[in-house]
Chains A and B, each alone.
Chain A
Amino acid sequence: MRRRSLLTGAAATAAAASCAAVLSGCGSSAASGVPTLDFLSLAWQEESVKANKALVAQWNSAHPDVRVRYVQGSWDDVHDQLLTSFEGGAAPDIIHDEGNDLTDFGSGGYLADLTHLLPAAARGRIPSATWDMARFDGGLYGVPFLQEPRMLIANRTLLDQAGIGLPDAAKPWTWDEFEDIARELSRPGGSGERYGVAWPMSSPVSVTLNLSLTTGGRILYRKDDGGTEVRLDQADSAFAELVRRQVGTDSSAPASALGMGGGDTLPGFFAGRYAMLPLNLSYRQQIQQQAPAHFDWVTLPLPVGAGAPDGGRAQGVSPQTLSVSKGCGHKAEAAAFIDFMTQTGPLVELARGDWMAPTATEALRDPSLTTDKLGWSTGMSVAAHLVASPALGRRGYPEWSDKVATPALQRFFSGGIGLDSLRKKLVRDGNRVFDRYRT
């Protein structure tokens, strides 16, 4: 965060001097006169990289008048890399990023407004609620194309042994049922110590915000004047309280997992130490690759909050997006490439490569994604209910998240502070942060 703040500050200082450079155009032309567009892709899994490269090759063979060059990027430092490139006027033309970054880059004037650049067919492919994930301040700054809900990955053997029936997407467990089941699956102490669930909370803020929607909360609310208000009422805090109860009171979730990333919990899951893991959909790839030969696992829908809107199925998500740099000299061609990449066939390829869910309605119904194998059909059913994360479009969110919410939630989950202190920190300190970003 410190690094991001410093860089943002430096960027602001340099912004005035660099406007001309930013707008000078970045689509390069090869010696042949054919424009070449750089496509910065953040795909990293082998299958996904192959799918992206194949689609770029397909585009290039069908469009000899506009070439696209595949540039492999990395999620590491992508925000700083892009900010520097934007300021220097040498940004890639087509940018793969995620929804949270669009807020800064869109409002900073670095991305092209796609509202009138995309064909009507492209706009109709994706539900309007999903477009909201990339639309703010009256502009559309990216095309959401991949998203992943949080699922419950479970050790089927342990659940069967305990006589617990498996829920399906049509009738998921409620959070109350889930708490009871996690308690039932737990075996405290001794060499066979087992926890019903492990909560990997290396990113506690995004998990808490996104899953607070399942209990009817959202924590970050839009004010009438466009600003952000932090609230922590009963519906907002219900999910965080549940995690704390499981760790501190029920002992059905280990405190040691709170600092872990999703991948760190897998060895304990395979060893039967944790019976269930709430993980993003794409972790199925890693589980399939690393699970011991006869390990029986199953993908279940995440529990829902009884009485919440949409039956508690709505999770928040920050989708992966495709955007066009404002400095790109060939915006129409870049938008045409994005249109190509988000058509049903290519989108299904990309979703399969990344083990994620596509955003387009037609692609979500594709037979290769609705198969019962490896939890695909459950994932697609849950994905149909995804909505924009409360963090999206909230200016000041990175600062609030890093400086206020992360330490407060970490202390709350581990029992260091109570609900009142958490509320005080998130709301009082948080609103001060967001007030500074009001324009």
Chain B
Amino acid sequence: MFGYYVELAVRSLRRSKALTALMILAVALGIGASITTLTVLHVLSGDPLPGRSASVFMPQMDPRDKERDDHPDELPTQVTWADGMNLLHAARARRQALMAAGSTPVQSDDLAIDPFIVPARYTTADFFAMFGVPFRYGQGWTAADDESRTRVAVIGAELNDRLFRGENSVGRTLHVDDVDLRVVGVLAPWRAVPHFYDLNSGNYSVGEEVYVPLGTARAAKLKRNGSIECWGNKSSDEANMETANCVWLQFWVQLDDPAAVASYRRFLDGYVHQQVALGRFERPAVSALPNVMQFLDQQRVVPSDVKLQVWLALGFFAVCLVNTVGLMLAKFMRRAGEVGVRRALGASRRSVFAQLLVEAAVIGLAGGIGGLGLAVLGLAMVRMQPGASAELAHLDLTMLGTTFVISIAAAIAAGLIPAWRTCRIAPALQLKSQ
């Protein structure tokens, strides 16, 4: 019967073109506004590590002194060199990576290309495997390279295109800031959205183009970027960052199951208590171990105005739907005579109800198509706005599916009352009045 109902729906919609157009327009406008704002929210609040985010955690502790009273309840999102190295070398997680942001000038062998500066990440070997970073050529460096501060690098796809015309550049030399690094891997295009592993460089900042072992970068004095928080009287100049009382490194671990998480939590708690006992940590022994999504929630990464815009758009959609209910009621009640005939010929109330809801669903589908067009336009306008997050506003397959699920479900919901009232019409009365 479903095919028959669809056929009848299309026929019915063709019959009253103006009313149909109004209903489709109402749904399309509501869908267009809602999907535009929902897409922005979806992109900005998306999972940067699909399938992995639940098993990647940020160990947090508070090594700061007692003097500072700013945000005493918020744990730093970075660690000191000493703590980072302690946790890294303890190797209590399946994978762990310590890292810092940087930027470095790059010089091409082709003298026609002027030196240019690219964002860099100085990190440890597990970074690539832990975050599932895809490689086009080669692979990451090893833990041994970290220890021996080998002069190697992994480069991004864009830099590889720019310097090596997209060829396999593994084994080639990368000149950065007067240092020669051997390329061991080239990434496929990759960008974590949000830039969860280091929000200090911007919640939605673009990915790095050069990855260098942390030890190598420090030894070669490559330029470091990013936020830094220091306390006490110790020197905190760039050359002494390893001994400074400053948090400036990000540390992430991979824990694959609840037992590993519980075990690491115990280890981290023990470590913090030990540091308090040693007098290194002055504040209460507090630690935390949020996973990626918990961390992003904690940091309130999604701008609050984006959520407000979604609510406003949904409110507008509700107004559109109320109008659609009225239009559907008018349309369905106009067909009371036909409904009477169908009832006389054997259609049950349930059949009539189903037929009218299919008609509502077809309106929803058409409205969804129209709304999709409007959303594409809306997102194009969003991308014209300044800001790193604006350029991310693209419709993906999930939102494409969501568009039609929402539009059809909303149209069916709008059709419920009109369909119910129409199917309750007494057929005898209609047949007499024909």
Q: Do A and B bind each other?
A: no
